[in-house]
């Protein structure tokens, strides 16, 4: 008759305790690994969302610039085949620079008149898209957006539309179609699948093409949701489960080995003390191995954090480059506008001269040519100032001399003599670390802005004060004008932001860049009356 040994209560309690420890180790390790994975994935999701947002902002700026472009407006106002083809050629060249899928222009009826793909068999020219939501939205509200398949290319993309406004009526719509192939390719190669969903929950940009245009899957504990800035989209990232469960298994194995070793030590303790010592040594080695592994994990975490800091720095640089891309697009637009107008007016003048007495019209055309030429000179001058890279050859610059030269330069630009200039006496031997021409450029720009703001102010006055703080010189240039509008005061150094009818919105951006090249800073300080700019400069030391 077989015998069955019933385990003692003490042994049963030990087994129960061991199982409890293993279960706790499993759940605790999985929880910690999941939290760590979520933290890292949240940073990655934020980086991807910012990348999508930056691309949207860049392409929206292109549509906004084109919708007010004189050549675009002229092609819709006086529809001629030559004008439409010239505009198609320009859109083709512009699209090669900005990297959109297609740029095209439609008339008020929804028919495409010009397109960047005019040379291709799948050209949009002559096709009607009045049924598209982005066209209807732009005609009704000024701008529109639709993510859809192309009716010709059958490729998905985001259509950004902007209405072309004429005198009293809309003339048509400018459309920028962009794809996200680079984003999707990068996401597809990552261990964290991602997709972007619209407000209605429809999947648009995705690393898994099978999900496109379908309702987004329900969220789980393995997903991260991140809003896409400056849009109504959100990005969803899925965490990989294998590494999380793998860490749980590894932790259970290690703890199980530790418990098994302890059990062996306890079981053999009564038999041989020497064997107990060897088991203790083995346990200590296991602990040392785990400690080394934990130390390596800590070092890996520090490396990951350093890489994160580098990625964030790279993202900041990418945003700066996106802003520079917007500036370049705007400058190209501004330069092409005067050149196109000069050519058009010259051709009109040639046609009109033989037909009789058209001297008044010809004179007006020539006057416009002069004004356009002056505008080209102003634009290219500001662009050179913005694009100039600091060469590092900074030296001692006399602040008093730079101030006197700036006053003369500002006066030569048509300033009013009724404006009083009040300045603290500046010692002739006071030197700052800068470049003479670019420091004068900053002062002239700020003085000119102040003068233009004081045109309607009784008893207008500009004040300059200075003081020395340690190794720095603090200048404050103030006026008693109406002050900056709230939209400018909140972000004074944003490109293309201006209250001047003929302004480009680059002056303060250029000044702020020059000051940073000097190792200083330019800020707008709160003021009860008017506007106050603070300039921080480093004093020159001969030591």
Output the domain CATH number for residue 105.
3.30.450.20
488 shares a domain with 405: yes
> Which domain, by its residues, includes 246?
11-38+242-319
34 shares a domain with 109: no
CA dihedral 185, 189, 193, 194 (to 10 degrees): -30
Output the domain CATH number for residue 351.
1.10.287
- What is the rounded CA–CA span in Å between residue 8 and residue 328? 83
506 shares a domain with 421: yes
Q: Helix (H, G, I), strand (E, B), or coil: what is residue 338?
A: helix
User: Residue 229 domain-assigned?
Assistant: no
User: Residue 342 domain-assigned?
Assistant: yes
Domain end marker among 149, 178, 207: 178
Sequence-separated contacts (24+) of 422-429 with Cβ below 8 Å: 422/461, 422/462, 422/463, 422/464, 423/463, 423/464, 423/465, 424/464, 424/465, 424/466, 426/399, 426/400, 426/466, 427/400, 428/398, 428/400
Domain end marker among 319, 335, 355: 319
118 shares a domain with 155: yes
Q: In this predicted model, what pLDDT tens digit does every residue of 101-132 receive, in sequence order? A: 899 999 999 999 999 999 999 899 999 999 99
Q: Which of 70, 94, 79, 90 is nearest to 372 (CA)?
A: 70
User: Residue 351 domain-assigned?
Assistant: yes
pLDDT at 173: 96
User: Residue 73 domain-assigned?
Assistant: no
Q: Which of 459, 49, 80, 77 is nearest to 226 (CA)?
A: 49
- pLDDT per residue of the chain (543 residues) written in tens, 0 to 9: 555 556 678 778 877 887 887 788 777 877 787 888 888 889 998 999 999 999 888 888 998 999 999 999 988 888 788 888 999 999 999 999 988 889 999 999 999 999 999 999 989 999 999 999 999 999 999 999 999 998 888 889 999 999 999 888 999 999 999 989 889 999 998 889 999 999 888 998 998 998 898 999 988 888 999 999 988 899 999 988 777 777 767 767 787 787 777 667 566 766 888 787 898 888 888 888 888 888 898 888 888 777 776 665 555 444 454 455 455 555 655 666 676 677 667 666 666 666 555 566 666 676 667 656 655 655 555 455 444 544 557 899 999 999 998 888 777 655 556 889 989 999 999 999 999 889 999 999 999 888 888 888 888 999 999 999 988 999 999 999 888 887 777 778 777 767 666 556 678 888 998 999 999 999 988 888 888 999 999 999 876
DSSP letters, 184-221, are HHHHHHSSS-EEEE-TTSBEEEESSGGGTTSBPPPP-T
332 shares a domain with 312: no
User: Residue 236 domain-assigned?
Assistant: no
464 shares a domain with 480: yes
Q: In this predicted model, what pLDDT tens digit does every residue of 474-528 receive, in sequence order? A: 999 999 988 888 777 777 877 776 766 655 667 888 899 899 999 999 998 888 8
Output the domain CATH number for residue 533.
3.30.565.10
- What is the rounded CA–CA span in Å between residue 44 and residue 37? 10
- What is the rounded CA–CA span in Å between residue 122 and residue 458? 63
pLDDT at 385: 46
Domain end marker among 319, 337, 362: 319
Q: How many domains does the chain have?
A: 4
Half-sphere exposure of 399 (CA within 13 A, CB side): 25
403 shares a domain with 533: yes
488 shares a domain with 369: no
129 shares a domain with 152: yes
Q: Which of 525, 33, 502, 507 is nearest to 246 (CA)?
A: 33
372 shares a domain with 447: no
């Amino acid at each position: 008759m077989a015998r069955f040994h019933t385990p003692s209560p003490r042994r049963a309690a030990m087994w129960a305790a061991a199982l409890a420890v293993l279960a706790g180790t499993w759940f605790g390790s999985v929880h910690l690994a999941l939290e760590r994975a979520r933290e890292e994935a949240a940073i990655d999701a934020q980086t991807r969302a910012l990348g999508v947002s930056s691309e949207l902002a860049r392409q929206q700026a292109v549509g906004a610039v084109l919708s007010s472009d004189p050549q675009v407006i002229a092609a819709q106002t006086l529809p001629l085949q030559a004008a439409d083809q010239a505009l198609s050629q320009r859109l083709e060249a512009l699209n090669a620079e900005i990297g959109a899928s297609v740029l095209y222009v439609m008339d008020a009826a929804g028919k495409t008149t010009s397109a960047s793909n005019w040379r291709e068999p799948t050209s949009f020219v002559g096709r009607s898209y009045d049924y598209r939501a982005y066209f209807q939205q732009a005609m009704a509200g000024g701008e529109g957006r639709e993510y859809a398949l192309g009716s010709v290319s059958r490729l998905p993309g985001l259509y950004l539309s902007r209405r072309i406004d004429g005198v009293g009526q809309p003339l048509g719509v400018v459309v920028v179609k962009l794809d996200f192939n680079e984003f999707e390719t990068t996401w597809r190669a990552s261990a964290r699948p991602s997709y972007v969903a619209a407000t209605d929950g429809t999947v648009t940009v995705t690393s898994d093409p099978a999900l496109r245009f379908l309702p987004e899957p329900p969220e789980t504990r393995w997903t991260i949701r991140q809003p896409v800035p400056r849009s109504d989209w959100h990005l969803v990232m899925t965490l990989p489960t294998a590494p999380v469960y793998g860490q749980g298994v590894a932790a259970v194995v290690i703890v199980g080995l530790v418990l098994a070793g302890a059990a062996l030590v306890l079981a053999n303790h009564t038999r041989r003390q020497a064997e107990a010592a060897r088991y203790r040594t083995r346990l200590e080695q296991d602990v040392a191995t785990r400690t080394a592994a934990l130390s390596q994990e800590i070092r890996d975490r520090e490396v990951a954090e350093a890489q994160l800091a580098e990625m964030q720095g790279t993202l900041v640089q990418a945003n700066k480059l996106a802003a520079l891309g917007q500036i370049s697009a705007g400058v190209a637009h501004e330069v092409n506008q005067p050149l196109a107008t000069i050519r058009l007016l010259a051709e009109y003048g040639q046609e009109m001269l033989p037909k009789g007495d058209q001297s008044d019209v010809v004179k007006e055309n020539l006057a416009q040519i002069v004004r356009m030429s002056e505008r080209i000179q102003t634009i290219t001058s500001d662009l050179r100032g913005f694009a100039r890279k600091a060469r590092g050859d900074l030296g001692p610059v006399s602040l008093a001399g730079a101030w006197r030269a700036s006053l003369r330069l500002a006066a030569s630009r048509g300033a009013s003599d009724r404006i009083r200039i009040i300045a603290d006496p500046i010692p002739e031997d006071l030197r700052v670390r800068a470049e003479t021409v670019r420091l004068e450029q900053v002062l002239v720009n700020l003085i000119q802005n102040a003068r233009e703001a004081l045109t309607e102010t009784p008893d207008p006055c500009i004040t300059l004060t200075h003081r020395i703080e340690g190794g720095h010189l603090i200048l404050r240039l103030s006026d008693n004008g109406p002050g900056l509008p709230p939209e400018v005061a909140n972000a004074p150094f944003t490109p293309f932001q201006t209250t001047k009818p003929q302004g480009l919105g680059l002056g303060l951006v250029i000044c702020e860049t020059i000051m940073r090249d000097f190792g200083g800073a330019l800020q707008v300080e709160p003021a009860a009356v008017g506007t106050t700019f603070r300039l921080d400069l480093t004093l020159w030391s001969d030591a």
